[in-house]
Amino acid sequence: MTTRSGTEVPLALISCCSSKSAEHSPLLRTSLWTEAKRAVIVPPRLLQFSLLHPEKMSKLRTFPVFLSLASALLFGGCAAQPKPELPYTNQELIVLFTQENLDARETSRGVVVTLPTLLFAFGSADLTPEMRSRLDKIATILGHKRAEGRSIEIEGHSDAVGTNAANLELSQKRSDTTAQELIAGGIRRDRLTTQGFGEEHPVALNTHPDGSDNPEGRAQNRRVEVIVKN
């Protein structure tokens, strides 16, 4: 007799699986899973009989085997289970950010993505369209299930022009606005912390050694950093 697909399936496949010999045969596991995907039905009494009397089933030459999702449960151990995806490494995150033309580097704290404050409106915490576009890319990467276990810290920084109090307030507002945009992009609020530092942590000189202004250095200091923490 034949299955609905027009092939004959040895009953040994059932009896071997019920006697657990399939656990030791990769070839048999492959055969069983191939038949399981034919999506046809095994009569319940036949399954029960094969489990109770595997020695009798093995004596039969052939028999029609109709396999479906229900019978696939019987052979559940025969199918290879997909491996769980591991969290992104720092290097993998850097590659993803770099592919989106984002400035990312690894530090002792984690992966730091630097966003220049020229992406804000001058003297305010309002985002420019370019800044929204970059934050959308960051949210897409950090919203992936392989990154969802990482906490995110957002830091605002300024140059030394103006009062320290004003710079501190503006840098805090810019870090808060950045966080709100990431939340709008799907990042959970409980993953985010924000902090404004004003002019406290410069990465370049605000003035030259002779005391003259250093516009390039000040531009580097005006920034928001998104830190994907270790």
Instruction: Say whether pLDDT at 107 is over 70.
Output: yes
- Give the residue among 138, 102, 123 at the shortest CA–CA distance from 173: 123
Instruction: Say whether pLDDT at 28 is over 80.
Output: no
- Total-model pTM: 0.65
Report how far residue 125's alpha carbon sits from residue 178's, in angstroms, rounded to the nearest whole number: 9
Using only C-alpha atoms, what is the Rg of the chain? 31
Domains in the chain: boundaries: 12-78, 90-229
Handedness of CA 125, 126, 130, 135 (dihedral sign): positive
Q: What is the pLDDT of residues 157-189, one digit of tens each?
A: 999 988 999 999 999 999 999 999 999 999 999
Least confident of 9-13, 82-86, 139-143: 9-13
CATH topology of domain 90-229: 60s Ribosomal Protein L30; Chain: A; (3.30.1330)
How far, in whole angstroms, is CA 163 from its chain's centroid? Answer: 42
| pLDDT band at residue 55 using 50, 70 and 90 as cut-offs | low
